[in-house]
Amino acid sequence: MAGVQMDTVVTTVEAMKMSEGHPLRCTFKDNVLSITLDAETLKCATENHPTWSGLDSAYVVEDEKVYAAEVVTSLNSEREDGSTLVTDMIDAAIEHAIENGCEGIKYD
């Protein structure tokens, strides 16, 4: 990644914006909510993750496709109650939208 120094601490969001790949996007089209990002953007976010960004050593993604598949497995891994990291994110997004006065919903 051009222009990024190893001692620079960046957020995951900033790292995804620096990627030359398909940035993280959330869209709603044809009655389908989609969240997408490509393997290059995931690689960029991983290698610049705030937990290890700026350290002398960090993780380096060697195979984007294999690594992306592993992350998908992690995202879809169900707990005993059937919840996943994805359902946690959706739950948080629902609460955030309602707490911020979203339209299209009413309390009954």
Q: Kindly report the length of the chain.
A: 108
Q: Which residues in 1-108 belong to E strands, given as ranges? A: 25-29, 32-36
- Answer whether residue 8 shows pLDDT above 50: no
Is 74 in contact with 85 (CB distance < 8 Å)? Answer: yes
Q: Report residue 72's pLDDT band, with 50, 70 and 90 as the boundaries.
A: very high
Closest CA to 1 of 67, 58, 74: 58
- The pTM score is 0.73
- Answer whether residue 7 shows pLDDT above 60: no
Residue 39's region, left for phi above 0, alpha for psi from -120 to 50, else beta, is alpha
pLDDT in tens, 9-66: 455 566 556 656 667 889 999 999 999 999 988 998 898 888 887 777 789 999 999 9
More confident residue, 99 or 4: 99
Find the range with the poorest average confidence among 10-14, 38-42, 71-75, 81-85.
10-14
